[in-house]
Chains A and B, each alone.
Chain A
Amino acid sequence: MDVLDIAIALIKIVVMFVVVLLTVAELVYTERKISAWIQNRVGPNRVGWLGLLQPYADVVKLLLKEDIVPAAANRFIHTLAPVISIGVAFSTLAVIPIAGPTITLFGRTVHMVIADVNVGILYVLALTSMGVYGLTLSGWASNNKYSLLGGLRSAAQMISYELSMGLSLIGVIMITGSLQLTDIVHHQHGWMWNLVLQPVGFITFLVASFAETNRAPFDLPEAEPELVGGYHTEYSSFKFALFFLAEYANMITSSAVITTLYLGGWQVPYLETFGLSDGWMVLVQILAFMLKVAFLLFFFQWVRWSVPRFRYDQLMNLGWKVMLPLAIANIVLTGALLLFL
């Protein structure tokens, strides 16, 4: 690996960062628009054409606000927590492949993935569990009772659902026989998506993703009526914006992971019968990948504005007494089917 390879990797990383940041901005906009439509309101429509520039106005506003750190808070950890949240949210995307064929850039073959490591799934799981630290530390460092409760809840919730998340993945690994995400996508050729082969695993993974990203109906850590703002009660200015950014970036990451594992990633059925050149194939596949991710993002928001929040005991019961046995049953069923069919 020489300087040119590192430069190409850096270019890919920067492009990914910019795309994710722009998507987050538009996600904030679509979230407000979708909520407005569902609640029969108009939604943001003043800043820019159809209100499209609203998120950018919000960013500028938050940047220029005073950064308040409570006197009782632990200053260093108070600043560290949002950095952990945002770092984890972005870094997970490194192993997601967005297209199959390679393209040639500066005389090098460039793969359409930032890092094609052979333990891709483990990397994703490791980083998502790191995300717990950001929320828990922010809750603890604020020295605020609401924040602490929010932080504790998020820790308990995320580790509970991480179990069923990890267990639902095992079905996919058994079918593919590899932990590498590129292998998993290649294995879902044509219509043989893991969604078809692993319907139960898909559902448990989807529900666990909602819980892991703290999205409604699992947004207990920031349940407004009881905990004010939860773990980010004591955050203001751009540190608050970072938590917001991290939540939406996590949604993008989860959607990308779900797409890769269950919806065939960049696979477009019958695409190879058109005899396109590699360049066009890459383009079509990236577009297909983005469409699948966009649909899942819409689904995330649709659910948020349609379903009420769980109570905490219901949440824990669902995680431990329904999801966990279901995921284990899925493993045994997958094993039996693979063996005897």
Chain B
Amino acid sequence: MIESYIPIFLILAVAVVFGVVSANMSWLLGPQRPNRAKNSTYESGMEPVRTAHDRFSVKYYMVAVLFILFDIEVVFMYPWAVQYRNLGLYGFVEMVVFIGILLVGFVYVIKKGALQWD
């Protein structure tokens, strides 16, 4: 069982080594001539105003929270889908009920305007 995962750890290791080495390659090979103007943050040629680490629209958080809610429901469907042919009509009805409840929440979210971008 666990043996089939060894190549996955290998490929992750190879990919990370490749990434770390090549991300630092230009630092080794390229020139190093920093100056204040070059190292300042790019803001269309203007002097940067404040930092970018500031508050941003709450809508992004809304999307993230909704994603977590719905994604957990999706996770429940995977084991059901694998066993679907063995469950028969019982499994089908169960899932229709489950999806029905899911859709009620979905309609509520849309009616509340949580996904309104304007």
User: In the bound complex, what is the Cα–Cα distance between A341 and B43 (angstroms)?
Assistant: 61
Which one, A63, A178, A336, contacts B25 given CB within 8 A?
A: A63
Candidate in B11, B31, B53 with the most chain A CB atoms within 10 angstroms: B11
- Whether A143 is near chain B, meaning CB under 8 Å from some CB there, is yes
Task: Check A13 against B115 for contact (C-beta < 8 Å).
Answer: no
Chain A residues within an 8 Å CB radius of B118: 313
Q: Is the CB of B7 within 8 A of A9?
A: yes
Residues of B within 8 A of A90 (CB): 11, 14-15, 18
Q: Are B8 and A163 in contact (CB under 8 A)?
A: no
- Which label, helix, strand, loop or mixed, suits the secondary structure of the B interface? helix
Which chain A residue shows the least CB distance to B57?
A152
Contacts of A64 in B (CB 8 A): 26, 29-30
State whether the Cβ of A185 lies closer than 8 Å to any Cβ in chain B: no
**What residues on B are CB-neighbors of A174 within 8 Å?**
81, 84-85
Number of A-B residue pairs with CB-CB distance less than 8 Å in the complex they form: 218
Question: Is the CB of B104 closer than 8 A to any CB of chain A?
Answer: no
When the two chains form their complex, are residues A115 and B8 in contact, meaning their CB atoms are under 8 A apart? Answer: yes
Q: Is B101 an interface residue (CB 8 A)?
A: no
Question: How far apart sit A200 and B48, CA to CA, in the bound complex (Å)?
Answer: 48
Check B42 against A233 for contact (C-beta < 8 Å): yes
Instruction: Find out whether the CB atom of B19 lies under 8 angstroms from the CB atom of A82.
Output: yes
In the bound complex, CA of A320 to CA of B59 (Å): 14
**In the assembly, what is the distance between CA of A87 and CA of B23, in Å?**
12
In the complex, residue of chain A having the shortest beta-carbon distance to the beta carbon of B4: A117
Residues of A within 8 A of B103 (CB): 328
Let me know if B113 is at the binding interface, CB within 8 A.
Answer: no
Q: Which residues of B contact A179 (CB under 8 A)?
A: 78, 82
A307 at interface, CB cutoff 8 A: no
Contact residue among B29, B63, B83 (Cβ-Cβ distance under 8 Å from A316): B63
Residue from B26, B44, B52 within 8 A of A147 (CB atoms): B52
Could you tell me the distance in whole angstroms from the C-beta of A90 to the nearest C-beta in chain B?
A: 4
| Complex A-B: 16 CB contacts under 8 Å | A68-B39, A71-B40, A88-B15, A91-B12, A93-B11, A117-B4, A140-B53, A162-B67, A163-B67, A166-B74, A237-B27, A238-B22, A331-B77, A331-B81, A332-B99, A339-B88
